[in-house]
Amino acid sequence: MENLMDVKKQEQRLTKKGKETRARIVDAAAKLMFDRGVAGTSVEDVQREAKVSASQLYHYFKEKRELVLAVIVYQTEQVLSAQEPLLSHLDSMEALRTWCDAIVQLQIERQCQGGCPIGSLASELADTDSAARTELTAGFMQWEHSIRRGLLAMQEHGELRADADPDVLALALLTALQGGLLLTQVRKETSPLEAVLDAMLAHIRSFII
């Protein structure tokens, strides 16, 4: 199997029409894998959803694992871009609260179905596909770094005490978020997500000067 870098280079060489077709395939695969899981989604399912021929699909993705990697990249971009501009300005307790409330509201709108698109892929692939795990790790790191930047900004302008560790707090907040999303998906109510986010914000607030 080609590595992700090879796949990305191949994408860059595509024509405009080729990029549009490839994007339609990835979008269809992402939708199906979110609803049914990776194991529950066949290449034929993606082909039908994207309305492409088998030869078209295999022109862009030689095997299902390549398509899965593309879906991980796609879902990471979708999740993080959907949280902008909130995620890029987490530099105050008010901003952190607004971001957390937005995530809770999204789960309400989704009726608590599906959980986190990145987390769902991770739970299915992390122990079975090292390439997928590497890409998932990179996606979570992007998310974590965005949170960390906001906390560092709070520290730099004197809102957060010097003994606060932005690295630890960012990792803890993202970990809490993922656990909250999972229990919210299982219980079909947002109270687990709200509880853990409230607890983490209270912990961060304890470092406020």
pLDDT, tens digit (0-9, with 9 covering 90-100), for 112-144: 998 899 999 999 999 999 999 999 999 999 999
Instruction: Please tell me the predicted confidence (pLDDT) of residue 18.
Output: 81
Identity at 46, one-letter amino acid code? V
Same domain membership, residue 140 and residue 50: no
- Domain end point (choices 36, 71, 106): 71
Domain assignment of residue 40, yes or no? yes
Nearest Cα to 1, choosing from 73, 52, 68, 57?
Answer: 68
Look up the domain containing 15 and give its range.
4-71
Identity at 127, one-letter amino acid code? D
Domain assignment of residue 78, yes or no? no
**CATH number, residue 171:** 1.10.357.10
3-state secondary structure the chain: CCCHHHHHHHHHCCCHHHHHHHHHHHHHHHHHHHHHCCCCCCHHHHHHHHCCCHHHHHHHCCCHHHHHHHHHHHHHHHHHHHCCCCHHHCCCHHHHHHHHHHHHHHHHHCCCCCCCHHHHHHHHHCCCCHHHHHHHHHHHHHHHHHHHHHHHHHHHCCCECCCCCHHHHHHHHHHHHHHHHHHHHHHCCCHHHHHHHHHHHHHHHCCEC
> What Å distances lie between residue 96 and 18, 61, 104, 140, CA to CA?
40, 39, 13, 18
Q: Is 85 left (phi over 0), alpha (psi -120 to 50) or beta?
A: alpha
Instruction: Please tell me the predicted confidence (pLDDT) of residue 17.
Output: 84
Domain assignment of residue 179, yes or no? yes
Same domain membership, residue 194 and residue 131: yes
Tokens describing residue 142? 């992007």
pTM of this prediction? 0.87
Same domain membership, residue 93 and residue 67: no
- Domain end point (choices 71, 103, 128): 71
Same domain membership, residue 180 and residue 132: yes
Same domain membership, residue 115 and residue 40: no
Same domain membership, residue 45 and residue 122: no
- Domain end point (choices 39, 71, 103): 71
Same domain membership, residue 66 and residue 89: no
Same domain membership, residue 93 and residue 34: no
Same domain membership, residue 174 and residue 102: yes
- Displacement of CA 204 from its chain's centroid (Å): 23
Per-residue confidence in pLDDT tens, the chain, 209 aa: 455 555 555 666 667 888 899 999 999 999 999 999 999 999 999 999 999 999 999 999 999 999 999 999 999 999 999 998 899 999 999 999 999 999 999 999 999 998 899 999 999 999 999 999 999 999 999 999 999 999 999 999 999 999 999 999 999 999 999 999 999 999 999 999 999 999 999 999 999 98
Domain assignment of residue 48, yes or no? yes
Domain assignment of residue 77, yes or no? no
Domain assignment of residue 181, yes or no? yes
Instruction: Please tell me the predicted confidence (pLDDT) of residue 16.
Output: 80
Instruction: Please tell me the predicted confidence (pLDDT) of residue 64.
Output: 94
Domain assignment of residue 46, yes or no? yes
User: Number of folded domains in the chain?
Assistant: 2
Same domain membership, residue 154 and residue 189: yes
Same domain membership, residue 184 and residue 89: yes
**CATH number, residue 27:** 1.10.10.60
Domain assignment of residue 76, yes or no? no
Cβ proximity of 108 and 28 under 8 Å: no
